[in-house]
A and B are shown apart, each in its own frame.
Chain A
Amino acid sequence: MIAYKVVMVGDFGVGKTSLVRRFVDNSFSEDYLSTIGVSISKKSLGNSTVMLWDIEGDTEFKPIFKQYLLGAKGFIIVADVTRKNSLESIQKHIELCHSIVSGAPICVALNKSDAPHAISEETIKSLKSLSPSIVEVLKTSAKNGDAVLEIFYMLDKNVSQTIKNRS
């Protein structure tokens, strides 16, 4: 059994907490309660246990506190498909993650995909090409559960394999 840390990174209000809640408790709430600081959840996935760090989102006046990213084995960068700004921030978040843990695997969750949006396959391809560390880019919906388990399992598969290879 291995235990490792994954940090949810993204702009404020993109649905990081909702993805964690859907993944951990299979629950969802429409109410927006901004996360301040960090909330840590634990989830067992077969042979691994993931400590999910749901951190305060990036805002114009309050950047992400880098220290929270220390010791992470993987990252899930979350953006909101209905908010262009949050999609444009993905590159910045990749750079932040790699400034703390160089080359760590990243999955990108394009969340709120249940809402009308204009994300094309080309956009997804271009997001994948942002870094060789990107394992997968998936359109997710914490509201209806679309691709939520998939994205966490994808990252787990990659991280578990990396840890096994090192040991």
Chain B
Amino acid sequence: MNAISKLLSQKSNIFYIVFDKDFKTMEFSPTIEEIIHDEIEKGLDVRESMWELVGLEEKILKLIEGDDAIHFPMILKGATYYDLDVETFFSAKGVKLFIAYLIKKNKESLSYVATIKEINKKSLIYETEDKKNQEEQYKLINKRVINFNVDMNGMITSANDAFAYFFDIRRDKILGEHFSNFFKARDSNFNDKETIIFNAVNKNDEIVSFHANIIPISRENVIYENIIICQDISSLKEIEKELVFAAGNDSLTGVANRSQLLDKMDEAIIKSKNLNASFSACFIDLENFKLVNSDYGRHAGDMLLKHVAKILSNFVRKNDMVARISGNEFAILFDSISDTQGIGVMLERIKELAIKNPLIYTKDDVIKFTFNISLVSYPKDANNAEKLIKVADKMMCLKKRDS
């Protein structure tokens, strides 16, 4: 046994200590001093040099009765990991002894350790930062949720820090004031209301909208005060604006869509009727668009549509409207241009736009394009918006056929 163990410890990364049932050290591998904590000597208590065995006495002695060997993985000593095994065996004299092995871990184990350390480090950062974010969010909410109490005459009887923060005013300047000095609403009393919409001007002179909940406080069934909790809904108003924009605009190019163009044409018709005037709109077909899609791909097609929308938008005047009304078809509704000469000049310049502004797709690929344009006027060509577009479509088809 000893010869084999000695050989093993010389040839490999195994260290061992043999001890008896009184925990006296009997034998140890010659190199074990490299990894134990204190001096080692035959006859000394093994627990002096192997701290790992402290507390395990009962379990070790039970090994004699046939209990399973004791195993502790991944014990760190210095910068090296070892597995510890404690087993029992018969000595040459037939005495039951114990042997504790320390087996040095291989490189794979060390890379495993590095991986777990890295994961734990990242997890800790994530957990801590997540908490910080939550706190920031909480502070932000507290700053935005204003609450105050008003008596039955609308006079403020208490207000929270968020109130003072929002208006940049000391709290004692708030108490006793009428709430309408701070918040503007359609009604100046809260009777029988559960919610109300307020507007208020903050310390930066910005108008902020609040949705307020009104909670009545009563004593002996008589309401004597209301608690008002205001939530900033400016962000909801922003979303509302975005939804309105999305309903009337083309999602790819951002210019007006067919629906908004029709609305605008209806408005122009009413205005023209009232003023006994006329207006014009031109419809622009992006020629050979299908070829761009097939030669360069849909991405290039999308880029071209955005490019066209941009150059048309940059070209028109402030009150004119550019719209994308179908796949490769755009329209411009001219505000108060009706004379033939002025329109003729405008159409020529639009055609030139296409020639002068090819799409630089890549350093080596320049995509050239041209416009097929038709012009319609109210009331000369039709008397409503839908009909004007149909006339324009017909003109466009005829031009394509002729070319």
Binding site for B on A (CB under 8 A): 3-5, 12-13, 32-40, 42, 51, 56-57, 59-60, 62, 65, 67-68, 70-73, 82-85
Distance in Å from the Cβ of A101 to the closest Cβ of chain B? 9
Q: Which residues of A have CB within 8 Å of B117?
A: 33-34, 36
Q: Which residues of A have CB within 8 Å of B120?
A: 12-13, 34, 57, 59
The answer to whether B124 and A3 have CB atoms under 8 Å apart is: no
How far is it, in angstroms, between the C-alpha of A9 and the C-alpha of B74 when the chains are bound? Answer: 16
Total B residues in contact with A, Cβ cutoff 8 Å = 29
Q: Name 29 A/B residue pairs within 8 A (Cβ), A-sorted.
A: A4-B55, A5-B54, A12-B120, A12-B124, A13-B120, A13-B127, A36-B74, A36-B76, A36-B81, A36-B116, A37-B73, A37-B74, A37-B113, A38-B72, A38-B75, A38-B76, A51-B52, A59-B123, A60-B123, A62-B116, A65-B73, A68-B72, A70-B56, A70-B59, A71-B56, A71-B59, A83-B131, A84-B131, A85-B127
The answer to whether A38 and B128 have CB atoms under 8 Å apart is: no
Q: Which residues of B have CB within 8 Å of A56?
A: 74
Q: Which residues of B have CB within 8 Å of A33?
A: 117
Most chain-B CB neighbours within 10 Å: which of A12, A72, A84, A85?
A12
Q: Which residues of B have CB within 8 Å of A68?
A: 72
Q: Flag whether B121 is at the interface (Cβ < 8 A).
A: yes
The answer to whether B121 and A37 have CB atoms under 8 Å apart is: no
The answer to whether A51 and B76 have CB atoms under 8 Å apart is: no
The answer to whether B75 and A37 have CB atoms under 8 Å apart is: yes
Q: Flag whether B71 is at the interface (Cβ < 8 A).
A: yes
Q: Which residues of A have CB within 8 Å of B237?
A: none
The answer to whether A51 and B123 have CB atoms under 8 Å apart is: no
- Interface code B98-136, partner A: CB below 8 Å = 1, 0 otherwise? 000000000000000100110111011001100100000
The answer to whether B74 and A73 have CB atoms under 8 Å apart is: no
The answer to whether B72 and A67 have CB atoms under 8 Å apart is: yes
Distance in Å from the Cβ of B116 to the closest Cβ of chain A? 5
Among A37, A67, A83, which residue has its beta carbon within 8 angstroms of that of B71?
Answer: A67
Q: Which residues of A have CB within 8 Å of B56?
A: 70-71
Q: Flag whether B317 is at the interface (Cβ < 8 A).
A: no
Distance in Å from the Cβ of B92 to the closest Cβ of chain A? 30
Most chain-B CB neighbours within 10 Å: which of A5, A65, A84?
A5
The answer to whether B51 and A32 have CB atoms under 8 Å apart is: no
Distance in Å from the Cβ of B38 to the closest Cβ of chain A? 9
The answer to whether B127 and A83 have CB atoms under 8 Å apart is: yes
Q: Which residues of A have CB within 8 Å of B400?
A: none
The answer to whether B128 and A83 have CB atoms under 8 Å apart is: yes
Give me 19 other A-B pairs in contact (C-beta within 8 A), A34-B116, A36-B117, A37-B74 excluded. A13-B120, A13-B123, A34-B121, A36-B113, A37-B75, A37-B81, A51-B52, A51-B54, A51-B55, A59-B123, A60-B123, A67-B71, A71-B55, A71-B56, A71-B57, A71-B59, A73-B55, A84-B131, A85-B127
Given contacts A40-B52, A70-B56, contact A82 B128 (CB under 8 A): yes
Distance in Å from the Cβ of A92 to the closest Cβ of chain B? 17
Q: Flag whether B96 is at the interface (Cβ < 8 A).
A: no
CB-nearest residue of chain A to B37: A42
Q: Which residues of A have CB within 8 Å of B113?
A: 36-37
CB-nearest residue of chain B to A62: B116
The answer to whether A37 and B54 have CB atoms under 8 Å apart is: no
The answer to whether A40 and B51 have CB atoms under 8 Å apart is: yes
CB-nearest residue of chain B to A54: B76
Most chain-B CB neighbours within 10 Å: which of A33, A34, A65, A84?
A34
Majority SS of interface residues in chain A?
loop
Q: Which residues of A have CB within 8 Å of B54?
A: 3-5, 51, 71
Q: Flag whether B306 is at the interface (Cβ < 8 A).
A: no
CB-nearest residue of chain B to A86: B127
Q: Flag whether B47 is at the interface (Cβ < 8 A).
A: yes
Among A13, A36, A70, A71, which residue has its beta carbon within 8 angstroms of that of B124?
Answer: A13
How far is it, in angstroms, between the C-alpha of A71 and the C-alpha of B54 when the chains are bound? Answer: 8
How far is it, in angstroms, between the C-alpha of A67 and the C-alpha of B131 when the chains are bound? Answer: 33
- Interface code B295-306, partner A: CB below 8 Å = 1, 0 otherwise? 000000000000
CB-nearest residue of chain B to A101: B55
Q: Which residues of B have CB within 8 Å of A57?
A: 120
How far is it, in angstroms, between the C-alpha of A37 and the C-alpha of B103 when the chains are bound? Answer: 14
CB-nearest residue of chain A to B48: A3
Q: Which residues of A have CB within 8 Å of B55?
A: 4-5, 51, 70-73
Residues 53 to 70 of chain B near chain A (Cβ within 8 Å): 54-59, 70
Distance in Å from the Cβ of B387 to the closest Cβ of chain A? 67
Residues 6 to 52 of chain B near chain A (Cβ within 8 Å): 37, 47, 51-52
Q: Which residues of B have CB within 8 Å of A3?
A: 47, 54
Given contacts A34-B116, A36-B117, A59-B123, contact A82 B131 (CB under 8 A): yes
Q: Which residues of B have CB within 8 Å of A13?
A: 120, 123-124, 127
Distance in Å from the Cβ of B36 to the closest Cβ of chain A? 11
How far is it, in angstroms, between the C-alpha of A38 and the C-alpha of B76 when the chains are bound? Answer: 6
How far is it, in angstroms, between the C-alpha of A106 and the C-alpha of B120 when the chains are bound? Answer: 26
7 tightest CB-CB pairs across the interface, nearest first? Answer: A37-B74, A71-B55, A5-B55, A34-B120, A13-B124, A39-B76, A71-B56
Distance in Å from the Cβ of A3 to the closest Cβ of chain B? 5
